[in-house]
Structure formats: structure tokens, C-alpha cells
């Protein structure tokens, strides 16, 4: 009879570890580490929370700024994804195609694919390229685009930083993209990149002037209603009322100039000479691959979003609704915070579970044999979340003014975004010298004329 060992007998060092599976190995490392980390964190928090709370209370604006900056950095990613998806599908429909419809339901996960793709590509620097400048160029471009989001008012009270020189800050940051593109074009050690970078620099610089001049008319108009005229929040407030108060009706020429110049600033068709992929391959971004190209890619879409947002803010009333909320529905009797967390938790759990099961049955019934239980449950969960989200948004829309503001702002912005995408699908490219000629010979005088007329009109009407 063999002796049953009481302890495991190890034949060689490392036998125990070598025989563990992957899951066991991970558990053996992570569980003790987690326990230690929990103890340490508890001690640190107990010691550090009171002074931290004091500090936070004392410096609330700073903390608010940090949260706002992080939020806009994080929110650019889903924005870019939504824009990529819109571009793919809308252009496809205009081309009488379907667009991506395999990756995810209706192809919505397709926009994630460029993101994952650029993350997984080899990140190299070409021979002869200036490595520091080459690496910094996409960072500069991306950050210049993202920082402008800090001053855009999404809703009453929801603005990153209500600078009283917000508009000036916006255009200053927008101009920084030139720096990034020039850096990219020069440091790539490639003639195509050089041509693309120089073209883009020339284009953006040329179009900045009509862009800013066309907005000065709006500033003059806003000065009749508010003192802080460069603050975007105040410009939006100056357009409150009904749709007829929006500045587009008082400054139509300025809007037209702004729209055209904004297309050039965002390097969109018909002004996308800088990335004319039928001539200079990818322009300044020819030598970029991997996440560096991803930064340029995202920067372009964020750029589209911000010029659309600015157009919506300055000319179309920002978060103002075009008409007053007509129906006397309000939810004042409904005070969600008074019910307490337990009730809400129970309600949420019930709704989610019952809804998932019920909708899974509905899906199975309607979809037939092709839906197995797992997918039906997942679909049911998705649908119930969509329904709950819709209901909550509707309630917020009715009750809270900031939800209303965000919804109207996003609607207007995306209307402009779709207009940009529409132009890309339809129009060919303008040649580089025709582009410059247009900016200097037509847009600049037109914006000056607009400025002059506006100033004169304001002076006369206010006399």
C-alpha cells in the first residue's frame, strides 16, 4: 500500500508553479495583491480624505477645470467614432451603396475598427525623419483641436470654462493646427509630405482671416445685448428667445463666409488639397502610421465637430430651442431624489431584468428560429437599455434645461456635420491656386464689407 503524502512532494523547484494553469497563476498573484492593495488604500484614504476634501472645497474651480478638461478629452473619442460612422454611411448612401453593415448591428462597430487598427499597427519613424518633431506633430494637431472644445457651451451651465475671451481663445487654438501640420510635413523627409504640409499651412492661414473677420460682425451685434461679447456663453445668451433672434438672420453673409472658411479650416472637401489622396497620397500624413496617424485622423474629425459646433453656437443660437416649449407639461411633481437609493435600485433592477426577459421573448417570437437564447437575451438587454435611456432622456428633456440644451445643441451641430459630409460626397476638389485666390480675392473683401455694413447699421440703429 502506498503512503499517502500529507504535503505535496516537489520533485524539482518550480514544479508547483509550472503545474498551475493560467487562471490559477493569475489568481495566485492577483488575490494577495488585491488584499494588500485594499488594506493600504483603506489606510491611506482614512488618513488622507479629510485634508483632500478640504483642498477640494477650497479650490473648486480648479477641480471643475480638471474634470472639464478630462471630460472633453474623453468625449472626443466617441464623437470621432460617431463622425466616422456618419461619414461612412452617409457617403455610402449618396453613392448608392450600403456602407458597412456587417460589423455590429448596422455596422456601428465599424467605426471602432479604425481605432483598433491604428492602435495595432507598427509605429515607425522613417529614415531621415526628425524623430522629435515627427512624434510631436500629431500631438500638437490633436491637442489644438481638442482644446477649443473647452469654451464651447453645450448647455446652460455646461461649458468647460466660461472664458470672457472665449472666441479669441478659440481662434488662437485653431491656428495652432497649422503648426502641427507644418511640423508633420517638414519632419517626414518626404516630398509629398512637404507639399502637403506647405499647402495646408498656406490654406489654413489664408482662410483664418475671413473666418475671424466674419465673426466680428456677430460680435458687434452681440455687443448690443451683452457686455462680454467675446464669451461664447454670452453670445448664445444674446440669441435667446425664438429662432428669429438667431444671428444667422441678421448676418447671412457672415454665415456664408464663415461656413466656407470653416470648410477650409477643417481641411474638408472641396478644400481638402492638403490630403488630396489622388495627388499627394496622404499629404502631410503620408509617412505616418499607427497611432500617430490615428491622432491626425481623429483630429480631423474633431475639427469637423468643433467648426460645426461653433457655427451652431455663433449663428444658430447654440443651445437655444427654436421655439418655446409649447406644451404645459412639466414634471415638477416628480422628485426623483426624494425616493431614496433603495427604491431606485429596486426599480432599476426590476425594469432591466423583466424588460430583458420580456423583450427577449418578443425578439424570439418575431425573429423566428434564427435567434438562439443567448443572442435573444443580449438583444433584449440592448433594447431595454435603449428604451430606458430614451425615457430618461425624454424626462430630462422635459424637466431639466441642461438636457434640453444639450439635445438642441447636438442636433444643430450634427446638422452641420452632415452638411460637411454631404459636401464631401458630392463635390470635387478645388485646385490650390484657385483656393488661395478665392480666399484673398473674394472672401476677404466680402467679410470686410460685411463688417463695415454691420458696424454702420448698429451705429445708426442705436443712435
Partner 1 sequence: MPARPTAPRPQNSRVKARAAQPQPQQQEPSADDPRVMLDRQLGTLYEPIPPYPTRTEREGEFYSLGDGEMFLNLGPHHPATHGVLRLVLKLSGEQVVDVDPVLGYLHRGVEKICENSDYYHVIDQVDPLEYVSSLFQEWPAVLAFEKLMDVQVPRRAEYIRVLSGELLRVASHTLFMGFQALDLGGLTPILYGFIERDEIVEMLAALTGARMLFNYFRIGGVNGDLNHEFMSRLGDWMSRAAKQSQAQSALLNENEIFVRRMRDVGVLDRATALRYGVSGPNLRAAGVPFDVRRAHPYSIYPELDFNVPTRDEGDALARYLLRVDEIRESIKIIDQCLNNMPDGPITAKLPRLLRPRPGRAWAAVEGPRGMQGVYAMSDGTDQPYRFRIHDPSFVNIQTVPAILPGGLLADTMAIVASLDPIMGGIDK
Q: Is residue 455 involved in binding partner 1 (CB under 8 A)?
A: no
Q: CA-CA distance, 108 to 386, in Å (whole number)?
A: 15
Work out how close the CB of 134 gets to partner 1 at its nearest, in angstroms, rounded to a whole number.
16
Read off the DSSP letter of residue 443. Answer: I
Of 147 and 436, which CB lies nearer to partner 1 in the complex structure?
A: 436
Q: Is residue 272 involved in binding partner 1 (CB under 8 A)?
A: yes
Q: Is residue 460 involved in binding partner 1 (CB under 8 A)?
A: no
**What's the Cα-to-Cα distance from 176 to each of 74, 197, 201, 212, 231, rounded to whole Å?**
21, 14, 10, 15, 20
**What's the Cα-to-Cα distance from 440 to each of 252, 263, 433, 446, rounded to whole Å?**
20, 15, 11, 10
Q: CA-CA distance, 66 to 11, in Å (whole number)?
A: 57
Of 120 and 426, which CB lies nearer to partner 1 in the complex structure?
A: 426
Nearest Cα neighbor of 399 from 411, 388, 407, 387 is 407
Site stretch for partner 1 (CB under 8 A), options 112-120, 215-223, 271-279, 365-373: 271-279
Q: CA-CA distance, 223 to 86, in Å (whole number)?
A: 37
Nearest Cα neighbor of 394 from 406, 404, 379, 408 is 404
Please, is 196 exposed, middle or buried when counting C-beta atoms within 10 Å of its C-beta (0-12, 13-18, 19+)?
buried
- Exactly one of 140, 216, 430, 439 binds partner 1 (CB under 8 A); that residue is 430
Site stretch for partner 1 (CB under 8 A), options 109-117, 132-140, 304-312, 421-429: 421-429
Q: CA-CA distance, 367 to 406, in Å (whole number)?
A: 36
Site stretch for partner 1 (CB under 8 A), options 56-64, 174-182, 278-286, 359-367: 278-286
> Coil, strand, or helix at residue 334?
coil
Work out how close the CB of 318 gets to partner 1 at its nearest, in angstroms, rounded to a whole number.
32
Q: Is residue 104 involved in binding partner 1 (CB under 8 A)?
A: no
Of 198 and 307, which CB lies nearer to partner 1 in the complex structure?
A: 198
What are the phi and psi torsion angles at 388 (to 5°)?
-65, -40
- Exactly one of 45, 53, 67, 277 binds partner 1 (CB under 8 A); that residue is 277
Work out how close the CB of 437 gets to partner 1 at its nearest, in angstroms, rounded to a whole number.
11
Q: Is residue 256 involved in binding partner 1 (CB under 8 A)?
A: no
Site string for partner 1, 119-158 (x = CB under 8 A): ---------x------------------------------
Work out how close the CB of 294 gets to partner 1 at its nearest, in angstroms, rounded to a whole number.
20
Work out how close the CB of 300 gets to partner 1 at its nearest, in angstroms, rounded to a whole number.
16
Angle at 270 between CA 106 and CA 423, to 5 degrees: 35
Q: Is residue 95 involved in binding partner 1 (CB under 8 A)?
A: yes
Q: For binding to partner 1 (CB under 8 A), which residues are involved?
A: 91, 94-97, 128, 191-192, 195, 199, 269-270, 272-273, 276-281, 424-434
Amino acid at each position: 500500500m502506498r503512503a499517502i503524502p500529507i504535503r505535496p512532494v516537489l520533485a524539482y523547484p518550480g514544479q508547483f508553479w509550472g503545474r498551475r494553469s493560467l487562471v490559477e497563476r493569475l489568481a495566485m498573484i492577483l488575490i494577495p495583491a488585491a488584499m494588500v492593495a485594499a488594506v493600504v488604500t483603506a489606510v491611506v484614504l482614512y488618513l488622507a480624505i479629510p485634508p483632500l476634501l478640504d483642498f477640494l472645497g477650497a479650490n473648486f474651480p480648479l477641480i471643475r477645470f480638471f474634470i472639464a478638461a478630462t471630460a472633453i478629452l474623453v468625449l472626443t473619442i466617441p464623437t470621432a467614432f460617431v463622425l466616422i460612422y456618419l461619414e461612412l454611411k452617409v457617403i455610402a448612401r449618396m453613392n448608392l451603396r450600403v456602407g458597412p453593415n456587417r460589423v455590429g448591428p448596422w455596422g456601428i462597430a465599424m467605426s471602432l475598427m479604425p481605432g483598433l487598427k491604428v492602435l495595432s499597427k507598427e509605429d515607425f519613424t522613417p529614415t531621415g525623419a526628425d524623430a522629435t518633431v515627427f512624434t510631436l506633430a500629431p500631438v500638437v494637431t490633436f491637442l489644438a483641436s481638442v482644446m477649443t472644445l473647452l469654451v464651447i457651451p453645450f448647455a446652460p451651465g455646461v461649458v468647460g470654462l466660461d472664458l470672457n475671451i472665449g472666441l479669441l481663445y478659440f481662434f488662437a487654438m485653431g491656428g495652432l493646427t497649422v503648426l502641427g501640420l507644418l511640423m508633420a510635413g517638414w519632419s517626414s523627409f518626404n516630398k509629398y509630405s512637404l507639399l502637403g504640409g506647405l499647402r495646408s499651412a498656406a490654406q489654413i492661414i489664408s482662410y483664418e482671416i475671413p473666418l475671424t473677420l466674419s465673426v466680428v460682425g456677430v460680435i458687434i451685434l452681440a455687443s448690443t445685448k451683452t457686455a462680454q461679447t467675446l464669451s461664447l456663453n454670452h453670445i448664445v445668451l444674446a440669441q435667446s428667445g425664438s429662432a428669429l433672434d438667431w444671428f444667422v438672420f441678421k448676418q447671412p453673409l457672415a454665415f456664408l463666409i464663415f461656413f466656407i472658411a470653416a470648410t477650409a479650416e477643417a481641411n474638408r472637401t472641396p478644400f481638402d488639397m492638403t490630403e488630396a489622396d489622388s495627388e499627394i497620397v496622404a499629404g502631410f500624413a503620408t509617412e505616418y502610421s499607427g497611432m500617430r496617424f490615428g491622432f491626425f485622423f481623429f483630429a480631423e474629425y474633431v475639427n469637423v465637430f468643433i467648426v460645426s459646433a461653433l457655427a451652431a453656437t455663433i449663428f444658430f443660437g447654440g443651445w437655444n430651442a427654436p421655439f418655446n416649449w409649447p406644451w404645459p407639461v412639466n414634471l415638477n411633481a416628480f422628485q426623483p431624489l426624494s425616493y431614496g437609493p433603495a427604491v431606485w435600485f429596486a426599480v432599476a433592477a426590476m425594469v432591466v431584468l423583466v424588460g430583458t426577459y420580456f423583450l427577449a421573448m418578443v425578439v424570439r417570437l418575431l425573429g423566428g428560429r434564427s435567434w438562439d437564447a443567448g443572442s435573444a437575451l443580449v438583444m433584449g438587454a440592448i433594447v431595454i437599455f435603449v428604451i430606458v435611456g430614451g425615457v430618461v432622456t425624454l424626462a430630462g428633456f422635459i424637466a431639466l434645461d441642461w438636457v434640453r440644451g444639450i439635445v438642441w445643441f447636438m442636433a444643430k451641430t450634427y446638422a452641420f456635420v452632415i452638411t460637411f459630409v454631404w459636401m464631401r460626397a458630392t463635390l470635387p476638389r478645388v485646385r490650390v491656386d484657385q483656393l488661395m485666390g478665392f480666399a484673398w480675392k473674394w472672401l476677404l473683401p466680402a467679410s470686410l464689407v460685411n463688417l463695415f455694413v454691420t458696424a454702420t447699421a448698429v451705429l445708426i440703429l442705436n443712435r
